[in-house]
Amino acid sequence: MKAAHSVSDLVASGLMTPEAGAAVAGVAERYAVALTPYLLDKLAGAPEGDPLYAQYVPSPEEAYTAPSERDDPIGDHAHSPVKGIVHRYPDRVLLKPLHACAVYCRFCFRREMVGPGGEALSPAELAAALDYVRAHPEVWEVVITGGDPFLLSPRRLAEIVGALAEIGHVGVVRLHTRVPVADPARVTPELVAALKADGLASWVAVHVNHATELTEEARAALARLADAGIPLLSQTVLLKGVNDDAAVLEALFRALVRNRVKPYYLHHPDLAPGTSHFRPSIAEGQALVKGLRGRVSGLCQPTYVLDIPGGHGKAPAAAAWIAEDGTVEDFQGVRHRYAP
């Protein structure tokens, strides 16, 4: 089975009827489409309401751009001092060596920047990006993102990680990826070995939105990373119609922890164009997160965050538990007075 990179591929695979394909032709011309053979197999026969289907298969609703939506919703461009670097926080930078992904999520906040054949940094551009990190001793953590860095060959990944390990003030490299749940066979022993270098702590943040993504193959890929001593985090986007339900989130976060993945961030969806149908309200998100407090342990609790539009960074978005009158609400909704 071949990967799908167009509406015609999706129709040929049976995931869309010709009529449904015609309805999203314009959407697919603007926003990249890609599903791996692995996902095509998992989605065979899936209804449109399937949580995987909604994440990867284009919808006519993407043709609508809400007035508040923007091409660069989190302000990457405004904080990019050199190509491939985003320096938004003092002690860490994003390093984006490529702008291609194995799959293209329908809610992606970089959907105007990524796509098939997504531009990769040239050797000179990568060298300049690494030089920027060397010249800024305040940078302690480098987040390799893009695009998906797990699309790089093990050789190229090892070169980048090795170069970062030689920069004395860099202590942590964090790689953000969708590959373990979108194309788990790509997580080979060679790729895992490429993520590690002496003197550098390597972490992997895996993007997972629903427990059904944690198939046997995906769990095995995560185990290859965890067994190699690489700490694993998760990032989840709160998506209307996919996981905006306390029981669904509970199942996801329990499954992640059972597979040695610490839930890290639950993102409120960014203001990317054509994604308004995925966005619940902040109040709805706060209620869901509040409902999780008594359902799952602290190990299973990510931080609910909003990336402030324009590049001003992430802010915790959860509702307050301590009121101005000094009372504290417990997980059952009962308020108690606290007198220090």
Domain finish residue from 15, 39, 63: 63
- Residues classed as catalytic: 88-89, 92, 101, 105, 108, 110, 270, 307, 314
The residue type at 287 = A
- What pLDDT does residue 296 have? 95
d(CA 33, CA 52): 14
The enclosing domain of 127 has a CATH number of: 3.20.20.70
- Same domain membership, residue 163 and residue 193: yes
- What pLDDT does residue 215 have? 97
How many domains does the structure of the chain reveal? 2
- Same domain membership, residue 54 and residue 71: no
| Nearest CA among 294, 324, 275 for reference residue 68 | 275
- Same domain membership, residue 113 and residue 33: no
Q: What is 144-175 written as a DSSP string?
A: E-SS-GGGS-HHHHHHHHHHHHTSTT--EEEE
- Same domain membership, residue 78 and residue 58: no
- pLDDT of residue 29 exceeding 80, the answer is yes
Show the domain range for 37: 1-63
Assess contact for 147 and 100: CB atoms under 8 A. Answer: yes
Mean pLDDT over 179-199 rounds to 98
Mean pLDDT over 236-248 rounds to 97
- Same domain membership, residue 71 and residue 59: no
pLDDT tens track for 305-327: 999 988 888 999 988 888 888 88
Domain finish residue from 44, 63, 82: 63
Q: What is 173-222 written as a DSSP string?
A: EEEEESHHHHSGGG--HHHHHHT-BTTBEEEEEEE---GGG--HHHHHHH
- What pLDDT does residue 198 have? 96
CA distances in angstroms from 149 to 31, 152, 207, 316, 339, listed in the order given? 20, 6, 13, 27, 50
- Same domain membership, residue 159 and residue 30: no
d(CA 93, CA 143): 6
The residue type at 191 = L
- Same domain membership, residue 5 and residue 42: yes
Mean pLDDT over 186-192 rounds to 98
pTM: 0.94
Phi/psi-derived region of residue 121, left when phi > 0, alpha when psi is between -120 and 50, beta in every other case:
beta
Coil vs helix vs strand at 289 = helix
Mean pLDDT of the chain: 94
d(CA 72, CA 215): 33
Domain finish residue from 13, 29, 63: 63
Confidence of residue 120 (pLDDT cuts 50, 70, 90): confident
- Same domain membership, residue 317 and residue 263: yes
- What pLDDT does residue 193 have? 98
- Same domain membership, residue 261 and residue 320: yes
- What pLDDT does residue 118 have? 64
- pLDDT of residue 204 exceeding 70, the answer is yes
Between 329 and 131, whose confidence is greater? Answer: 131
Mean pLDDT over 28-54 rounds to 91
- What pLDDT does residue 117 have? 64
- What pLDDT does residue 49 have? 78
- Same domain membership, residue 2 and residue 40: yes
- Same domain membership, residue 139 and residue 56: no
- Same domain membership, residue 36 and residue 74: no
